[in-house]
Structure 1
Amino acid sequence: MLKKFTLVAMMGALISVSFGAATANAATARNGECESGEFCLFYNSDQGGSVSDFTTSVSDYGDEQPGCYDFKGAGNGKGLCVKNEAASVWNRTGSPVTVYFNSGYGGSKQTIAANTKANLNSDLKNENASHKLNDSGSGGGGGGTGGTYGAPNDNPHPSATARAPQATKRTQHVDDEIRRLTGETHCWVGDYRSNEPSDSNHNTGNALDCTISNAIGQHPNAAQKEQGWKLANWLKKYASKLDVRYVIWQGKIWSVARASEGWRTYNGGSGVTSGHYDHVHVSIQNPHGD
């Protein structure tokens, strides 16, 4: 009887050790480490910079703190929202994972095979809004047509100034390329603004406001919001070709001077128009700076 009891006790101990080991090896979501069983986004190409690790699908990464999914690991990009900021991935799950341009698993997409590292392609690099686990690219619809626009022609015009509502030749080139490649036709320098300095970007013809919602003062619907992000990220992507200085949309600003910080909070106002929730603002490189 003693031998039988000892054998049972030993088996119980082995089972306990086995379960303990399995628990210790389980992935811990959102701890800033890319562990087995997780899908991970990286701020830099080739799995560099800060990492954001996931064990579930995410239909919308979110636009701002504190509600967005952010980069958790050490390195470049730590603390930034992952939406429109990831450059590479590591799929450590046993099934394919698809990254989508739009929220709600819509738009352009890239499928990463199980247990594979990859750089995001030109459509998705820094233009990612959602991912779906165990997905071979079927998607879930929603969020507009997605994708990115084609590459614009280089801006051939020198830095200059004009007087609003006239655009400089450099700004007019940006407006022409927006119309030609994106279909957006409601971009304007606007009237001269007496409440702003005479050398402001708008007053010198070096800025455009592109209305995205149905009217100025109105919040955009979901599809228009994605449309605005598509334009804003296109301007960001081709800033060097267009001579863009900075872009503002949905309470966020991206600038060439602080490009390493990605989209950051815009502090110029919180209203529908002052926060740029109804229009995309783009400033062009010019003699007077910001």
Structure 2
Amino acid sequence: MRIVVTITVALLLVVMSLPLILVSVARLSRAQTPHAAISTSAPPDQVPEVGRPPEQPSGRERITSRMRTVRDLVRQQFGVPHGVGCFRENDRIPGGGRGEHHLGRACDFMLSKGGARPSAGQQARGDAIAAWLQANAHRLGISYIIWKQRIWSPGRAREGWRPMSDRGGVTENHFDHVHVTVD
């Protein structure tokens, strides 16, 4: 009888402690996630969380608030002297559908002008932008990144950068800009 009572009391203590354990684990995991790596002055409530459904574009720029946040953070962090292209009315994908630019969920961070190949310094800036986006992908809600005819996505991060087929030119193959799409 005494063993049964001891086991019952022990189980009760574990069950009663479970909510506290779960809260502690959640706090610990939040402290170790990539959002701690974001170096920005943006208040945390302006950086959208991952796992939300895709947003609708808004404002005169016709991009989502998540895309606007990513665009602004990249501009702050790296500067983009050759511009950022986001919404495009005529953005189409093979098969006739609308592309992510038309949906307000994609931006291109231009590293050179007029379809020219970027210099070594410009490529280094592109590498830094792409690496920063990768490091902060989960926190920022990034769906995928395209750079130098390669694609990377958080869902397939273990595969690293995957090659893409030749689309024809410097711009089409993303050698002169880093493309990012958000959820």
TM over 0.5: yes
Conserved in 1, the CA contact under 8 Å of 2:91 and 2:98?
no
Query: What residue number does 1:205 align with?
Result: 104
Instruction: Flag as ranges the 4+ runs of structure 1 deviating above 6 A.
Output: none
Conserved in 2, the CA contact under 8 Å of 1:218 and 1:272?
yes
Gaps of 5+ in 1: 1-148, 286-290
Distance 1:199 1:165 in 2: 17
Query: What residue number does 2:48 align with?
Result: 156
Query: What residue number does 2:89 align with?
Result: 192
Distance 1:261 1:172 in 2: 28
1:158-197 deviation per Cα after TM superposition (whole angstroms, max 9, x unaligned): 5312289511111101111112222225222142115445
Distance 1:261 1:194 in 2: 28
Query: What residue number does 2:157 align with?
Result: 259
Fraction of identical pairs, as percent: 32
Conserved in 2, the CA contact under 8 Å of 1:171 and 1:207?
yes
Decide which structure has the larger Cα Rg and report it.
1
Query: What residue number does 2:132 align with?
Result: 234
Distance 1:246 1:168 in 2: 16
Query: What residue number does 2:73 align with?
Result: 177
Distance 2:162 2:86 in 1: 24
Conserved in 2, the CA contact under 8 Å of 1:252 and 1:264?
yes
Distance 1:198 1:205 in 2: 14
Query: What residue number does 2:20 align with?
Result: none
Structure (1 or 2) with the greater strand fraction: 1
Match 1:219 to one of 117, 126, 143:
117
Q: 1:202 to 1:265 in 2, by over 3 A?
A: same
Structure (1 or 2) with the greater helix fraction: 2
Gaps of 5+ in 2: 1-36
CA drift of 1:198 comes to 5.2
Distance 1:251 1:284 in 2: 19
Conserved in 2, the CA contact under 8 Å of 1:167 and 1:189?
yes
Distance 1:245 1:280 in 2: 14
Q: 1:174 to 1:194 in 2, by over 3 A?
A: closer
Distance 2:99 2:91 in 1: 10
Q: 1:240 to 1:150 in 2, by over 3 A?
A: closer
Conserved in 1, the CA contact under 8 Å of 2:38 and 2:136?
no
Distance 1:222 1:274 in 2: 19
Could you state the TM-score of these two structures normalised by the residue count of structure 1? Answer: 0.43
Aligned residues between the structures:
136
Q: 1:161 to 1:219 in 2, by over 3 A?
A: same
Conserved in 2, the CA contact under 8 Å of 1:168 and 1:206?
yes
